[in-house]
């Protein structure tokens, strides 16, 4: 199949696939030392809730296996393991008096380890209330990344009554890809598996036994994908990929016509590897943050127009990775109820948590997090607000929450004549500049 291309990948993988430095004693770093006062924060953000969210948050780590999957690197069919971080509504009881908040370990793109403080309790008891279940939200990182890169969002959703599963996408994490010697070693695997991983995580957690089986909602779920995670999410909820010969050759690094056709056959699928577009009905809402793929027109227009799952697109208007113009085009072509939040003067890094201190030692590491014109903590707070509104409105079917998605074009509180106008619903006066909003329930 694709062995010719992957000879170099296998060689690089043997040198740099596992560059995680052994953990030494590192103090957990607090990435949010300063929290906005409640009166200055978006209404549905963690800062606005000021510790008064509905639930404490528990977290556990699971490993699941997707059986009999084509492995792009070894060119064999084998089980595909996925590590999940799962956050959930917790009940802190007298039986766990010494339970302390946990931390998350990971590494930068250059392999430098770090540990960040969490607002969740490792292995805490599950909140169980009579006849109440909690919807699942799946979080999907970019290339490269790791499952806790949006931990702030996961904790926030769990505190508000969701079970959140964030995926370590195998072959696509900081720990597996050597960004210096072979930065694209996991790229074909990422193209092939991102959507499949998202769907399998939903399938597993809503059908197989696990620690939260009794409290997970089996019928309603949401999806959040950042960058390549967004590329996967758009496919997962109904779009079809359309890789042509030239683009496939570019992404596989070969000009062999037979290999190109074989690669296209693997890639050109709909809804998580299916031949036709028919999204799992459990998906009730999706959020695509800086989604990659539109710049190469990898989604067929016809399939985008047939998407039925409500979609929130979030993007910086200076995104030079995914391309803001292409994200807008994807938004316009989406047939479902759709929204577009634009962060003005932002580039691509609108979703990650703030950079850990060790990332400031090198541009390659810092560039995975840093936004020149925005504080990451402010972006995180706004993301919490809009993603929770999206999930409450469309997944939990709470109509009163939909008003947070019914906004004017600009957040700048200035009308066409330069006169002051009211703030966006849910935002305090004078604290919502630099954003714009589009929404359209009609076909493009």
Domains and CATH numbers, the chain: 3-440 (3.40.50.1820)
| Partners of 65 in the β-ladder | 81
Mean pLDDT of 17-38: 73
Beta-sheet strands, E only, within 279-418: 283-289, 311-316, 338-343
Residue 218 has φ and ψ, to the nearest 5°, of -85, -5
Q: Does residue 47 have a pLDDT over 80? A: yes
Q: Does residue 14 have a pLDDT over 60? A: no
Per the omega criterion (within 30 degrees of 0), is the bond before 180 cis?
no
Q: Does residue 442 have a pLDDT over 90? A: no
Three-state DSSP class for residue 117: strand
For the stretch 254-292, pLDDT in tens is 999 999 999 999 999 999 988 777 899 999 999 999 999
d(CA 248, CA 263): 7
Predicted confidence band of residue 131 (pLDDT cuts 50, 70, 90): confident
Predicted confidence band of residue 98 (pLDDT cuts 50, 70, 90): low
Q: Does residue 10 have a pLDDT over 80? A: no
Mean pLDDT of 225-232: 98
If one compares 73 and 126, the residue with the highest pLDDT of the two is 126
Judge whether 283 and 226 are in contact, CB under 8 Å: no
Rg (CA), the chain: 21
pLDDT of residue 17: 43
C-alpha closest to that of 437 among 317, 299, 320? 317
The rounded Cα 244 to chain-centroid distance in angstroms is 26
Q: Does residue 144 have a pLDDT over 60? A: yes
């Amino acid at each position: 199949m694709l062995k010719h291309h992957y000879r170099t990948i296998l060689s690089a993988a043997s040198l740099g696939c596992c560059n995680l430095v052994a953990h030494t004693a590192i103090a957990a770093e607090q990435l949010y030392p300063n929290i906005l006062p409640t009166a200055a924060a978006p209404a549905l953000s963690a800062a606005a809730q000021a510790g008064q969210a509905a639930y404490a948050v528990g977290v556990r780590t699971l490993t699941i296996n997707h059986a009999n999957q084509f492995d792009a690197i070894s060119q064999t069919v084998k089980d595909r393991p996925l590590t999940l971080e799962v956050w959930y509504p917790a009940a802190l009881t007298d039986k766990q008096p010494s339970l302390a908040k946990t931390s998350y370990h990971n590494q930068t793109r250059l392999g430098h380890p770090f540990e960040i403080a969490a607002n969740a309790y490792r292995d805490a008891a599950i909140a169980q209330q009579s006849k109440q279940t909690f919807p699942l939200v799946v979080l999907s990182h970019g290339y490269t990344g790791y499952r806790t890169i949006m931990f702030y969002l996961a904790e926030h959703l769990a505190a508000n009554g969701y079970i959140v599963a964030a995926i370590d996408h195998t072959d696509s994490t900081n720990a597996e890809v050597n960004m210096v010697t072979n930065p694209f070693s996991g790229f074909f695997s990422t193209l092939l598996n991102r959507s499949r991983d998202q769907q399998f995580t939903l399938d597993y957690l809503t059908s197989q036994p696990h620690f939260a089986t009794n409290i997970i909602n089996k019928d309603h779920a949401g999806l959040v994908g950042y960058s390549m995670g967004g590329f996967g999410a758009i496919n997962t909820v109904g779009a079809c990929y359309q890789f042509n010969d030239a683009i496939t050759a570019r992404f596989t690094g070969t000009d062999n016509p037979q290999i190109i056709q074989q690669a296209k056959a693997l890639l050109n699928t709909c809804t998580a590897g299916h031949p036709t577009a028919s999204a799992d009905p459990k998906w009730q809402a999706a959020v695509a943050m800086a989604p990659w793929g539109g710049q190469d027109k990898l989604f067929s227009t016809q399939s985008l127009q047939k998407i039925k799952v409500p979609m929130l697109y979030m993007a910086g208007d200076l995104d030079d990775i995914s391309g803001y113009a292409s994200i807008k085009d994807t938004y316009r072509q989406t047939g479902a109820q759709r929204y577009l939040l634009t962060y003005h003067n932002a580039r691509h890094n609108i979703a990650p948590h703030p950079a850990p201190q060790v990332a400031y030692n090198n541009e390659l590491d810092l560039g995975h997090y840093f936004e020149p014109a925005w504080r990451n903590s402010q972006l995180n707070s706004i993301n919490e607000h809009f993603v929770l509104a999206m999930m409450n409105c469309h997944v939990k079917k709470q109509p009163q929450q939909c008003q947070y998605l019914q906004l004017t074009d600009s957040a700048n509180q200035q009308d066409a004549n330069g006169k002051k106008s009211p703030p966006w619903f849910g935002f305090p006066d004078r604290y919502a500049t630099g954003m714009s909003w589009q929404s359209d329930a009609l076909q493009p």
